[in-house]
Structure 1
Amino acid sequence: MTQFLTRYFPNVIKIQEEVIESTFQTIYMVLVTAAVAGILGILLGVVLVVTSPNGILENKRIYNFLDQFVNIFRSLPFIIMMALIVPFTRLLVGTSIGTSAAIVPLVVGTTPFFARQIQNALLEVDEGIIEAAQAMGSTPLEIIFRVYLKEGLIPIIRVSSLTIINLIGLTAMAGAIGGGGLGNLAIARGYNRFQTDVTLVATVLILLLVFISQGIGNYLIRKISH
């Protein structure tokens, strides 16, 4: 086994610690971004649903503003968006380079995407259940927690899994321009230094994270469904 690795992955063997560190950097970026963007995305998605036309708290001004906000930030290419918010990143973190700095644009880029996914997931909730809750005198807050979030739990898990997979891809892109992680390893070490084995291993590790995320999402859906 050692001979096989030494023969086909010589550069990876030399930088084993860097590969491990880059993997943990990517996991760190994904977990922190998922936590922050998850909270913000759910809040934004819920507000979009309840303030939409015929929503339980219909408000055209708030809905139109948030709807346009989400559309604009979802339309911006991630690399351009990272460059645009460099001053904001420096203000929050003190630098625009590194793993912690990459979390800021990752949150900004992921939140609107996740909010739209949450909105679509909650719109799948049967309107009859919502009307029944209103007829029983439930408050808007009770409807949000007991109807929307409870009845829409499976679609929410499904879109959360999709968002995390998308986020893993964004961390690789962030790493390519100085954000650290496996993306940085694949570009700085693999591509720029013509170390194909490093690029291959970094790619396989990213795919492994994607498969694990998808597997966890599928497991949770099966668990809740039964």
Structure 2
Amino acid sequence: MSLFNIDQINQYLSHISNISPYQLEQLYKAIWETTEMTVACGFLTLVGGLPIALFLIITAPDGLRPSPIPHRIVSVIINIFRSIPFIILLVALIPVTRFLVGTAIGTEAAIVPLAIATIPYFTRIAEVSLREVNHGLIEAVKAMGGSRIAIIKEVLLPEALPGLISGFTVTIILIVGISAMAGTIGAGGLGRYAIQYGYQQFRSDIMAIVIVLLVIMISAIQWAGDYLASKFNHR
């Protein structure tokens, strides 16, 4: 027997709120759209942000291979994108989004500006976690003849992993929040649902349902992140 019976959930929501079957259907669609945006953007943020953070650490003045000019250029670019409010970035990237996915409206279109907004954010968090790795361990591997790749694989990433997980958890929660913001201008998800069926129809009960769903979603993400961070923390 399934722990969550969809008919029972529908009956419960209909009982606590005068929500129509169509609105319920749209609610489930909105949950899926928010999940899709979060997972896709989270993946792009991880594979985009972590390599950039490693590059900044390696090319820093005290890094494994100091390169001041490339380091400065990448750092400035990261700072520029971090300085732009998401709602402005969302509008400014409409031509890019339309070129990449063929449309500027919808869940798939929202993933592009979401990723561009959160990659710099996670890059800085990951950079801080990597920078906090004990330099004594790095010097020890160097003294034993370890290569840069060995230092990255055997020291930097394993030692920084708990901090990277915690930082990625915070980033995923940020993605959930700004995906709801993107939903207000046609990106879909719980943000669009809250505006269309809650705010515009003066339905405080539907707004409350969306808020509760977001709280549950974010709490689950935070719990999973804290669990994984503690599991990989061997200090």
Per the normalisation by structure 2, the TM-score is 0.92
Aligned partners of 2:12 and 2:103: how far apart in 1?
41
2:59 counterpart of 1:41: no
User: Aligned runs of 1:198-217 on 2, under 5 Å?
Assistant: 198-217=206-225
Cα RMSD over matched residues?
1.6
Counterpart AA for 2:223? G
How many Å apart are 1:31 and its aligned residue? 0.3
Q: Number of paired residues?
A: 226
Is the 1:12–1:197 Cα contact (8 Å) retained in structure 2? no
How many Å apart are 1:57 and its aligned residue? 1.2
2:172 counterpart of 1:155: no
Q: 2:183 aligns with which of 175, 187, 198?
A: 175
Q: 1:54 aligns with which of 36, 54, 62?
A: 62
Counterpart in the other structure of 1:166: 174
Aligned sequence identity (%)? 37
Counterpart in the other structure of 1:193: 201
- What 5-or-longer segments of structure 1 have no aligned partner? none
- What 5-or-longer segments of structure 2 have no aligned partner? 1-7
How many Å apart are 1:7 and its aligned residue? 5.5
Aligned partners of 2:20 and 2:123: how far apart in 1?
39
Counterpart AA for 2:186? G
Flag as ranges the 4+ runs of structure 1 deviating above 3 A: 1-8
Per the normalisation by structure 1, the TM-score is 0.95
Q: 2:26 aligns with which of 18, 35, 40?
A: 18
Aligned partners of 1:109 and 1:94: how far apart in 2?
20
Q: 1:130 aligns with which of 128, 138, 141?
A: 138
How many Å apart are 1:134 and its aligned residue? 1.2
Counterpart in the other structure of 1:91: 99
